[in-house]
Amino acid sequence: MNDVRRRFVAWLTAVSDRFVHWMVDRRHASRGAAAVRIGTGLSVIGLLLTNVTTRDLWVGQASIWAEPARSASSFPELALLRGVSPDILTAVYALTVIAAAAFVLGWHTKVAHVLTYVGFIAIVAQNPVVGVQGDNLVRLTLLWLLLMRTAEHWSIDAWRRDRRSRGRRLHRGDAGVACEQEVLPAWIVNVMHNAGLVALAAQTVLAYTAAGLDKISQNAWQHGTALYSTLQLPESRPFPALSDLIGSSQVLLAILTYGVLLVQLFFAPLLLSRRSRQLVIVAALVVSVLFAVVFAAPWSQLAVVAVTVLFVPDRTWQRVEQAVFERVDVVTDRFARRGRATEGVRDGSRGFAGPAPRHAGSRARR
């Protein structure tokens, strides 16, 4: 008995040690976090811009009819816009769009993030009657991203940090460059980031699994008629010809039904191996894009895409990043050569400016 207990304690200690190392030593999935930041931010911008012309009706004074539903909601952020004039609504609305744009670009990311989060809830929760589940996903994603460092890559903040680091290196070497902006100790920053990452990953897995389990408990999904029925409803047929095309093909309906069920139900277990993870992420993205088009729900589905790509490994993101920057370099080099050639003609020199250095002037790669 003592032996069992000793082995259990040893196992528990080893597990907790590994967990502490994982949480403290470095920030994980930093490129995935950046991708989620960009996708979720674009989803917020898209939703707000889509409804900008009808904002008074949606969440402004003309949504007064929705007051009983609003009263049942307990978001404190609601007070920001409750009963305000159209001008104030417009100001908050515009501020939230600008903050979301800054969040996407990674410009003063944390401040932009907080403003986006508060503004999004204050606006969207004003009218619970027309809320959709995608709103909850965006809200939860923004919440967990608050803990994370989402601007370490593909952001203006990262670019500025790099520029400062390079300048400082020129003056006094490499020492002391790392973590120059951190207010909190590095281990706390790492723990917060990784806690947010785990929570967001768990949330995403829960969302997929709950959706799958809910579907298989319904007769319509068991009998394969759920998508057909939904495609017949007027509100789900923005493109009737496309809906009819899918609805009239038993093969397409069967593939889609099985695809949706398999992706949602087995999302979590399929993440555990590299090959199946690639498969399930690609399948989930295909399903999301298809639903975005067929049901005209681009912003909700973009939010789904954003949280799904959290599970794309940083190695893959690095390859994508490298490929993109190489393409960009080719284009910028070509423009640079053309510019020099033009200047040469203007100066009366020969038109050939000579090859530009391969990566001259290319941006810092984060």
Partner 1 sequence: MRVPASQGEAGTRSLLMTMSEHTPTPISDGLGRGQRAGVLVVGLLLIVHSALVALWLAPPSPVRDLIGSSVLDTYVDPYFEQGTDMVGVGSNRVDEALSLRASVRPEGGGEPAVTRWIDVTAVDTQAIRGSVDPSRAHQVARRVAANLNFALFALNPEQRQIVADTGADAPVGQLERQLRSSGGNSSDSTNFLANDQMATQFASLWLGAALPDVELLQVQYRVGRRVVPQRAKHDAPALADIDYDWFSVGWRSTFRAEPEARAAFADHVGGVSSE
The residue count for binding partner 1 (CB under 8 A) is: 112
Within positions 119 to 158, which residues make up the interface with partner 1, using CB under 8 A?
A: 125, 127, 129-130, 133-134, 136-137, 139-140, 143
Within positions 9 to 28, which residues make up the interface with partner 1, using CB under 8 A?
A: 16, 19-28
Kindly state the tokens that stand for 211.
């959706």
Residue 115 or 310 having the CB closest to partner 1: 310
Binding test (CB under 8 A) with partner 1, winner from 198, 285, 336, 341: 198
CB within 8 A of 94, min separation 6: which ones? none
At closest approach, how far in Å is the CB of 280 from partner 1? 12
Residue 285 or 336 having the CB closest to partner 1: 285
Q: What is the Cα–Cα distance from 42 to 142, expressed in whole angstroms?
A: 12
At closest approach, how far in Å is the CB of 12 from partner 1? 10
**Which phi and psi (to 5°) does residue 223 adopt?**
-90, 0
> Within a 10 A sphere around the Cβ of 225, how many other Cβ atoms?
14
Binding test (CB under 8 A) with partner 1, winner from 232, 322, 342, 349: 232
297 binds partner 1 (CB under 8 A): yes
Closest among 125, 256, 148, 144 to 194, alpha carbons compared: 148
Within positions 50 to 69, which residues make up the interface with partner 1, using CB under 8 A?
A: 50-51, 53-54, 56-58, 60-62, 64-69
Binding test (CB under 8 A) with partner 1, winner from 42, 103, 291, 333: 291
Binding test (CB under 8 A) with partner 1, winner from 98, 101, 156, 186: 186
Helix (H) or strand (E) holding 153: none
Within positions 311 to 340, which residues make up the interface with partner 1, using CB under 8 A?
A: 311, 313-315, 318
344 binds partner 1 (CB under 8 A): no
Chain CA centroid to CA 279, Å: 20
Q: What is the Cα–Cα distance from 305 to 250, expressed in whole angstroms?
A: 27
CB within 8 A of 303, min separation 6: which ones? 39, 40, 43, 134, 137, 138, 141
273 binds partner 1 (CB under 8 A): yes
Give the chain's length: 366
Q: Give how far Cα 100 sits from Cα of 110, 116, 117, Å.
A: 11, 5, 9
260 binds partner 1 (CB under 8 A): yes
Residue 198 or 336 having the CB closest to partner 1: 198
